[in-house]
Amino acid sequence: MIPLVDQTTRPIQKISRKYTFIILAVLSGIIGAIWVAIDNYVGAEIVQNEYAFAIQSMLIGTIVSVLFVLILWIPVSKKPLENLIAKFSKNKYSQTDNQQINAVDQHPPLKKSAKRKYSFLGQYIDPQFYGIKIPNKKMFLWLGLSGLFSGIQTLVYFILIKDMDISVFLPASQFVVVYLLIGDLVIDKSKPAAIEIQSIIMIVIGVILAAIDLSSSSTTSWVDLVLVFLVLNTSAAVYVIFQKKAVGTKDAKGKTLDSTNIRLWTLFFMSFFTIVFTLPFMNSGGWDMFKSTFVKGLFPIALSMLLVYIARIFYVRALAMGKMSIVNTLSSVSVVAGIPIALIGSLLSEAAFTLPEGPQAWIVWLLRGIGAILVFVGIVGLSMSEVKIMILAKVKGGEICDIAKIKSIPGVERVSAITGKFDLMIILRSRTIGRGYQPIVDQLANMPCLDEIVSSTILKEWNA
Amino acid sequence: MSSDDSENVKAYIMLSVKLGKTNDVLAKLKQIPNVTSVAVITGEYDIIVRVETVTMDEMYNRTQEIHLIEGILETNTSVIQKEF
């Protein structure tokens, strides 16, 4: 069969995998700060009922996101159209298998015109995107559970964003990193490395410093803080875990779902659950607010939800490349990004963005500056510590290797049975070269079926 | 909905590269169709390339293209039989 698009001729990324990972996670954090700022403004100036705001956002967000995905699906090269014509052309289908193979194989060696191109517009932000796809049952389960917890998180978000200062909300919501790091450590069954502890402490302290405001009359209550730490961060952590599961789930052909589709389907579930959870709180005043502000709030909400969608595509892409805790830690750059955004926002709306005032204002700015530096240094330390290793292994004659057992070793990402000098190619990912690497290699060396192991560290990698 | 009903032929090609030629070889490898991943590694080989094609014939063409790149001293191709 001729595939609709040849998924292997998209361009190799110019930026290496490690930097792509950092850029994606950091970008998702920066865009995240912008969307929270827009929501802060809309909640304070336009839709002042949090439940009406939540329902409006979900409805507008779903429509805007579907339209956005349809735009991403626009072909940018002739290839998808040519292949589509070939697929439905009777003449081509009446040919023999050999002729079909020859039709596909049209790349003479070192042909100048064989330039690698993207097939769809959406591949510029998500190279894996090849149109809307229906997930399989298992993916549906993970996406549905992601949507459920995202729905809880979204409702709490809209309740908090109304009263809470953006400079307090953004840092407080980053504590999900601590929950996720504990989760990663439990999954890996290992202790954190010194660099990880050091980086996370720097980021947490940086976030706290950036959040301290001695001068403004913040309206944050204890109930809000309980909601942030016990409900928002917890549901966010569970959401990330299910998203990671959805990212790693393969279909019958061994393919994973792309980030754009994962976000689209999560959004459907999230919108459904958010609306279901919000409806019991809606009173007549809420519905009146909903009707009277729908048109006025349309543009800013649409913009905010579009930014959410783009940020989430980047976030899910980063999630497919690295550890949950590291992705979230990198995204916490939103705290730093929140400072200039709040400054610009205060020019538009003083009600939505309150700035430090009075004689202690300079101390607040100093603390925020130190906090920003700590977050950046922590991010660099944490993101640079992860290593990817390739292991080639020979299987002993007369032995059958239990691949499932190899795959179950924490850190093993992929196992391939290969031809040639070696029998297995094992790709593994370790949080640091010192902490994770040796125990994994030791476990592999202890496998009775393996005869010889050769390991190579991947120094730099580029992907299509 | 888009479809993808192909069962691709996949292979890892490990390359030894002449000293000082790594960047030139990397740039040329990135232009070859069906190359899905290029990585610089430590150890016996310098670069590992992952190639995914629709047919074995196409895989042969891609390996030939790689062999013609100036600066490559030795290649070792391992076809992936199954992935877990």
- Residue A439 in any domain: the answer is yes
Q: Is there a single domain that holds both residue A150 and residue A226?
A: yes
- Assigned domain for A464 exists: no
A117 touching B, CB under 8 A?
Answer: no
- A119 occurs within a structural domain: yes
Answer whether A400 touches B (CB < 8 Å): no
What chain B holds in terms of domains, given with CATH numbers, is 9-79 (3.30.70.920)
Task: Write down the pTM of the prediction.
Answer: 0.71
Residues A31 and A113 in one domain: yes
Same domain flag for A289 and A157 = yes
- Which of A303, A320, A337 is the last residue in one of the domains? A320
In a domain, A117, yes or no: yes
CB-based contact A454 B82, cutoff 8 Å: no
Residue A1 lies inside a defined structural domain of this protein: yes
State the best of A400, A416, A429, A458 to mutate against chain B, taking most chain B CBs within 10 Å. A416
Q: How many domains does chain A have?
A: 3
Q: How far apart are the C-alpha atoms of A54 and A154, rounded to whole Å?
A: 8
**Is A6 within 8 Å of chain B by CB?**
yes
Residues A205, A277, single domain; the answer is no
Q: Which residues from A are below 8 Å from B46, CB to CB?
A: none
- Same domain assignment for residues A257 and A399: no
Judge whether B10 and B80 are in contact, CB under 8 Å. yes
Assess whether A107 and A136 both reside in one domain.
yes
- Name the residue among B1, B41, B68 with its Cβ closest to that of A133: B1
Where residue A398 sits, what CATH number does that domain have?
3.30.70.920
Hunting for tokens 């790091």 — which residue is that? A181
A377 located within any domain: yes
Q: Is B31 helix (H, G, I), strand (E, B) or coil?
A: helix
Comparing CB atoms, the residue among A116, A390, A407 nearest residue B84 is: A407
Q: Classify residue A157: in a domain, yes or no.
A: yes
- Contact list in A for residue B67 (CB cut-off 8 A) is none
Domain end residue (candidates: A320, A338, A353): A320
- Interface touch B37/A425, C-beta < 8 Å: no
Residues A152 and A136 in one domain: yes
Domain annotation covers residue A429: yes
Q: Are residues A55 and A150 in the same domain?
A: yes
pLDDT digits (tens, 9 = 90+) for B19-78: 999 999 999 998 888 898 899 999 889 999 999 988 888 899 999 999 999 999 999 999
CB A354 within 8 A of CB A51: no
What is the SS3 string spanning chain A?
A: CCCCCCCCCCCCCCCCHHHHHHHHHHHHHHHHHHHHHHHHHHHHHCCCCHHHHHHHHHHHHHHHHHHHHHHHCCECCCHHHHHHHHHHCHHHHCCCHHHHHHHHCCCCCCCCCCCCCCCEHHHHCCCCCCCCCCCCHHHHHHHHHHHHHHHHHHHHHHHHHHHCCHHHHHHHHHHHHHHHHHHHHHHHCCCCCHHHHHHHHHHHHHHHHHHCCCCCCCCCCHHHHHHHHHHHHHHHHHHHHHHHHHHHCECCCCCECCHHHHHHHHHHHHHHHHHHHHHHHCCHHHHHHHHHHHHHHHHHHHHHHHHHHHHHHHHHHHHHHCCHHHHHHHHCCHHHHHHHHHHHHHHHCCCCCCCCCCCCHHHHHHHHHHHHHHHHHHHHHHHHCCEEEEEEEEECCCCCCCHHHHHCCCCEEEEEEECCCCCEEEEEEECCHHHHHHHHHHHHHCCCCEEEEEEEEEEEEEEC
A390: nearest CB among B2, B32, B48: B48
> Do A305 and A423 lie in a common domain?
no
Distance in angstroms (rounded) separating the CA atoms of residues A93 and A89: 6
* A331, A356, A385 - which closes a domain: A385
Residue by residue, pLDDT tens for chain A (464 residues) are 444 445 556 677 677 777 888 888 888 888 888 888 888 888 888 888 889 999 999 999 999 999 999 999 988 877 666 766 766 665 544 444 444 444 444 444 444 445 667 788 888 888 888 888 889 888 999 999 999 999 999 999 888 877 676 666 777 777 777 777 777 666 666 667 777 778 778 877 887 787 776 655 555 577 887 888 888 889 988 988 898 888 888 887 777 888 899 999 999 999 999 999 999 999 898 899 999 999 999 999 999 999 988 988 888 888 887 777 777 777 777 777 777 887 787 777 777 677 777 777 788 888 878 887 887 787 777 666 677 888 898 888 877 888 888 888 877 888 999 998 888 999 887 766 666 667 777 788 788 888 888 888 888 888 87
User: Does any CB of chain B come closer than 8 Å to the CB of residue A409?
Assistant: no
On whether both A377 and A408 belong to a single domain, the answer is no
The CA-to-CA distance between both ends of chain A, in Å, stands at 23
Pairing of strands B72-83, A412-418: antiparallel
Judge if A96 and A232 occupy the same domain.
Answer: yes
Residues A5 and A141 in one domain: yes
Range of the domain at A446: 387-458
Query: Are A8 and B64 within 8 A, CB to CB?
Result: no
Question: Minimal Cα–Cα distance from B74 to chain A, Å?
Answer: 14
Chain B partners within 8 Å of A462 (Cβ): 26, 30, 37-39
The answer to ipTM > 0.90 is no
